[in-house]
Every structure is written in C-alpha cells, then in structure tokens.
A = this chain, B = another copy of it.
C-alpha cells in the first residue's frame, strides 16, 4: 500500500516535493515520495501521529512536535503528506486535528524558519504554509479542530480552515491572528479565512491589533464554535464528527466547495506573487530586527 500511495502522491504532491528536493543545496536531508510514504505508513514519523479508525472512517491527527507544535518546514511537509494520504484513502471521511503537547494546540509558524534564512529557503517555507492552508481549506474530508491549548497565529489559521472548532474552556488558553504584535502581517488568505469565519469588522480590529481571544471571547465572536471542559475536547469532537458524517458526502462536499472556492482561487491564482511578497517582506532588515528582538524577548522569559 505504501507504494500505491506513493505513486498516487507523486503527481498531487509534486509541487510541494519538488520544492523540498531543492533544499539539498541548503544542506538538508530530503526524502523521496516513496520514503515519505513508507515512513508515514509505519507511523514512525516523529512530528505527527495519525490514528485512523477504519470502522468509523475517522482519522485523528495528533500534533506531537515539542515543545509547542511549531509549524516548521519539516512539520508542514509531514502534515501535508499526512492529510493528502487520508484524502486519497476512500475509506476515510473525517479528520480530527488535535495536539498531544500540554497547554498548546500549535504556536503557529516557526519563527526560526523566517529569521536569518536565505530568500530561497524563506520561499520554500512559505510555499509549505500555503500548501497546508490549501489542503485543509479545500479538504473533501469533514475537518474538526479539537483545540486543547493555545492557538496563536498559524495555529489559529489551521483551526479556522476546519469545518468546526471545539476549544477547551480554559481561560489561560488563547486563539487569534496576532501577527501585527510581532511586527509582521497576516497575508490576504489568512485575512480572507478569518473574514469568512467572523466577518469583516471583527477581522479588521482583530488583525490590526493582533488580538488574542480567550475561549469565551472566541466563542462570542464566532472564532470557535463550541467550548467544553478540557478533558472532553476529543470525545466531543468525535461525537460532533458523527453528526457531520450523517450528511451524504457528495452533497456536503459540493456545498463546502461552493462556499470556499472563491477564497481558494484567490491564492491559487496568485501563489508565486504571494511567495515573492512574503520573501521580500520577511528578509527586510527592519523585519529581521523585529524578529530578533522578539526572539530575545522569548529567550529572556525562559531564562
């Protein structure tokens, strides 16, 4: 099955993997599609654990990349391959995404991928972020985010691409697109996804101020759909999934595509320009300086 999956992977993952292969020049170990597929099949991959229950058709993806499930290039590549494999498995109908790291769902994009890196590497990273969003936002699977910890920036983006969001009702956790707080900017497709979720005005104020919401606030503005006690996040996600799977797949999928296609088309028709835009922004001296200050602030906090 690994081979079959690998062969099917070949065409649809080509854009991402062809990028990955270019990383050799930066001294990174790259894997072929076949190897990646074998790795995933044996569940030996360290960053994401996938449990697929054939009897229900539901897969649970546990993000397990210590300490905070940062979305590095490696993480994103593994994540996209994992989603695509499930997408191609006809017996899989639903995907629950959660974390097994304490207190955090995902801390978002790995800042180390944006700091002191070459333009080529930054571009490669950004393509992987795009790929993650495209895969999730257009997924034929029912996708549920079981948000059992904080979920800033890229973690929030991952959440709002899903069909439904259940968050742990713990006031210490927060969720939001807080990019401006770091001196960086959420791109138009983050903004579009947020607008589709909470509307134009709430998005405007949230993105300009880089607001992080606690669970109650997030529920109130519609950034998440439901709050439950922390130990019930996953079981609630499973129960909710059953309700979604009661709807005929083809009707739900056509409806989902109808709702999301215009937003997806905006990125797919501007992908290269969006990468160029990100690279030229993030490699600016002033932005690199902002990131350095942020990293030093993080270091001090830990120390």
Chain A residues near B (Cβ < 8 Å)? 163-164, 179-186, 188, 191, 195-201, 203-205, 207-210, 222, 225, 243-244, 247-248, 250-252, 254-256, 258-260, 286, 290
Contact = CB atoms under 8 A, between A and B. Distances in A.
Contact of A256 (B186, B200, B208): B208
A248 B183 contact: yes
A86 B106 CA distance: 41
A163 B184 CA distance: 19
Contacts of A164: 205
14 contacts: A179-B251, A180-B247, A180-B248, A191-B259, A196-B200, A196-B204, A199-B200, A199-B201, A201-B222, A204-B259, A204-B260, A205-B225, A207-B259, A209-B252
Given A183-B250, A250-B183, A290-B248, A255 B199 contact: no
A55 to B, nearest CB: 23
Nearest to A290: B248
Contacts of A251: 179-180, 182-185, 210
B201 A196 contact: yes
Contacts of A203: 259
A181 B259 contact: no
B222 A185 contact: no
Nearest to A184: B251
A255 B196 contact: no
Given A209-B252, A248-B290, 17 more contacts: A180-B252, A183-B248, A191-B255, A191-B258, A196-B200, A196-B204, A198-B201, A199-B199, A199-B200, A200-B259, A203-B259, A204-B256, A204-B259, A205-B225, A208-B244, A209-B244, A250-B286
A254 B204 contact: no
